[in-house]
Amino acid sequence: MMSVPAPQKDMRMFLIFVVVVLTSPIWLAPIGAGYPQLLQAFAIFGIFAIGFNVLFGLTGYLSFGHAAFLGAGSYTAVWAFKLLSMNIIPAILFSMVIAGLFAALIGFVCLRRSGIYFSILTLAFAQMSFNLAYSVLTPITNGETGLTLEAGDARILDPVYENAAAGGLPSPNFFGLEMADFGGYAGVYVCFAVLILAFYVYLRIFRSPFGLKLLAIKSNQNRMGYTGFNTRPYLMAAFVISGIYAGLAGGLMAVTDPLAGAERMQWTESGAVVLMTILGGVGTLFGPLLGATLIEYSENIFSAVNKTELIEMFSFLGQDGAAAMASVLSLFVGEGWLLTLGALFMIVVIFLPGGMMQGISIINERFFSKKPAGDGEKPGAGKAQEV
Amino acid sequence: MSDIVLNVSGVNKTFGGLKALTDINLKIEAGKTHAIIGPNGAGKSTLLNVCVGRLEPDSGVVDFNGTSLTGKTPYQINQLGVARVFQTPEIFPDLSILHNVMIPAFAKKEGEFSFNPLASLFGSNEVQDEAEHVLNDLGLTSHRDEHAGSLSRGDKRRLELAMCLVQHPKLLLLDEPTAGMSRHDTNRTIDILKKIKERGMTKVIIEHDMHVVFSLADYITVLAQGTIIAEGSPEEVKGNPKVQEAYLGGEHV
């Protein structure tokens, strides 16, 4: 087995990560993923998933309610736009703070239980939040219509003339740089910058004594007690950190598209982040990012394909062949892309319980390993469990 | 009498109708190795569980260096300086051996909770040195980077001992530390425990293996059916007819 990865190795890995992220619009273009909306989604769900991994990957506590924090972040950001300023900085900061407070509240109650009871409690809280946002809290959330910007919003920090200008709605900006500038790539690079910062903090958490203690809680919580640790505050801290990451992701959603709806708090969103994390590799450093990217990518690719395109694709089979093929495959595309996701998820869980990262380290060991197995794998693969 | 580290007085514990412990009085002296022996079901483990906060006594007081342990949680009791080796090894199977020992060292250094998510593990040299020192003492250095879960049973028990020793506890409770070990491993463990004794660590040891008990103990308490039937030096206990009848005799007949 490997020893503690050296800090230099981590730094190198982080720099590679930065380069990979910043150049992604170029190398993702050939596979049809090089457009702003999808790139933003990669970054945003990547942040959501790495934050989730701090809780689920390190402590083993499976929350089914993180959409509540995502939604809270979005609502907060839109309110920050409405009341304070169209600058994204207060919006992002407030979305993290509010989501963190919200997570502290929910975590305080849910962390009294562990295992399945914890999961169910978080699910219940998130669904409660969803229903509140959808109906009772309409004055704050604007109910089923969703919260949007309006021309008459206060925006007390913004100069008045800007508000009056152009007649239309203002758009979120970073000290004047509007998210829609450069064909939307301003927004993309804001998301990338935040992702890189978020990933750096996440890496530090993984490599800290705090992260090690969280892993120990996952490994044997009972022993942690007899070792002199009060595990509750550790779990609470992990829960709040992951809530802050979710809030940050929600805030960025509003930054790139300034509206917030209750559906962001639905259990399906909570489920999505669980799927992303498991698909990529729970507890691994890069797994959740890969999972988030894969799911967002396949959603965009598979849901965009329709039956006519399928018939065209299989035209080499002849008219009947193409029609038959298309009618089978059409179940898996368009509206039915979730079926593809389901199948993919099943395959990964059955054959690669460690997620895509396990697949990567297997490939690495088999084909690229110079040293004995376990030492020559890609940075991050399996290492996360170690530290 | 020298300093009393652990003072158990008038402890009663019942499970449903079963009297597990009846009016137990026990004084553990500083620096001594105190063995608790007795047939199966005598209440030895229950007594240890009461001492570490796993169980609340129905009545009576457990007092550690003048602090009552009643109502304290296991982590609070550990922070007072009580460490425990379990009957079945309680380790962190998913972590490396080194990390298994570093974690208790962190508990000793930083207390029950410290929030430092941005501190680097690489900078924890002091803790790591301490952990490596203990691993070296117990002959586990060669396994340093292995997953604890992959160790043999005997090595797991030694690891658990290392996890306790790295905290330099004032009182070490050992629940059958050599159960299931080969004769070789048992002797090795005895040697380790003798070495600790030289450092003046107080120990309470529950053990079935008379070889272990008589090689280590300064003082022996014999439990049977939840009551103390005899206590004294190993020689006194050995010669006590009540003990021979209840325990030593009972096991050989």
**pLDDT tens digits, one per residue of A65-107:** 999 999 999 999 999 999 999 999 999 999 999 999 999 999 9
CATH number of domain containing B2? 3.40.50.300
For domain A16-280, the CATH architecture is Orthogonal Bundle (1.10)
Asked if residue B73 and residue B24 are part of one domain, the reply reads: yes
Report CB contact under 8 Å: B112, A6.
Answer: no
Is residue B247 one of the residues assigned to a domain?
yes
Asked if residue B177 and residue B156 are part of one domain, the reply reads: no
The residue from B131, B150, B168 where one domain ends is: B168
Report CB contact under 8 Å: A208, B84.
Answer: no
Asked if residue B174 and residue B153 are part of one domain, the reply reads: no
Q: Is the dihedral of CA A253, A257, A262, A263 positive or negative?
A: negative
- Distance (Å) of CA A330 to CA A319, A321, A340, B9, B128: 16, 14, 10, 76, 58
> Is residue A387 predicted with pLDDT exceeding 80?
no
Give which of A205, A222, A229 to mutate to test B binding, by max B Cβ within 10 Å.
Answer: A229
- Distance (Å) of CA B40 to CA A125, A243, B11, B208: 47, 49, 20, 9
Q: Which residues in chain A have Cβ-Cβ distances shorter than 8 Å to B84?
A: 226
Asked if residue B240 and residue B186 are part of one domain, the reply reads: yes
- CA gyration radius, chain A: 22
pLDDT band at A4 (very low <50, low <70, confident <90, very high): low
Report CB contact under 8 Å: B117, A6.
Answer: no
Chain A nearest CA to B158, separation (Å): 15
Asked if residue B75 and residue B185 are part of one domain, the reply reads: yes
Nearest to B75 among A7, A209, A228 (CB): A228
- Residue A184 has a pLDDT of 86
pLDDT band at A245 (very low <50, low <70, confident <90, very high): very high
Report the number of distinct structural domains present in chain B. Answer: 2
Torsion-angle region of B41 (φ positive above 0: left; ψ -120 to 50: alpha; else: beta)? left
Chain A nearest CA to B139, separation (Å): 18
Asked if residue B139 and residue B36 are part of one domain, the reply reads: no
Is residue B86 one of the residues assigned to a domain?
no
The residue from B168, B194, B222 where one domain ends is: B168
Asked if residue B131 and residue B188 are part of one domain, the reply reads: no
Asked if residue B175 and residue B58 are part of one domain, the reply reads: yes
Is residue B221 one of the residues assigned to a domain?
yes
Is residue B204 one of the residues assigned to a domain?
yes
> By residue range, what is the domain housing residue B146?
91-168
Is residue B231 one of the residues assigned to a domain?
yes
Asked if residue B156 and residue B102 are part of one domain, the reply reads: yes
Asked if residue B77 and residue B176 are part of one domain, the reply reads: yes
- Residue B243 has a pLDDT of 78
Torsion-angle region of B92 (φ positive above 0: left; ψ -120 to 50: alpha; else: beta)? beta
Q: What is the pLDDT of residues B59-104, one digit of tens each?
A: 888 999 988 888 889 999 999 999 999 888 899 999 999 999 999 9
- Residue B91 has a pLDDT of 94
Residues from A in contact with B at Cβ < 8 Å: 1-4, 6-7, 201, 204-205, 207-213, 215-216, 218-220, 222-231, 233-234, 237, 241, 385-387
In the predicted model, residues of chain B with pLDDT beneath 50 are 1, 252-253
Which stretch of DSSP H or E encloses residue B223? strand B219-224
Q: In the predicted model, what is the mean pLDDT of chain B?
A: 87
- Distance (Å) of CA B146 to CA A1, A78, A366: 6, 50, 21
Asked if residue B19 and residue B136 are part of one domain, the reply reads: no
Quote ipTM for the complex: 0.89
The residue from B150, B168, B186 where one domain ends is: B168
Is residue B138 one of the residues assigned to a domain?
yes
Q: Which residues in chain B have Cβ-Cβ distances shorter than 8 Å to A220?
A: 90-93
Asked if residue B157 and residue B196 are part of one domain, the reply reads: no
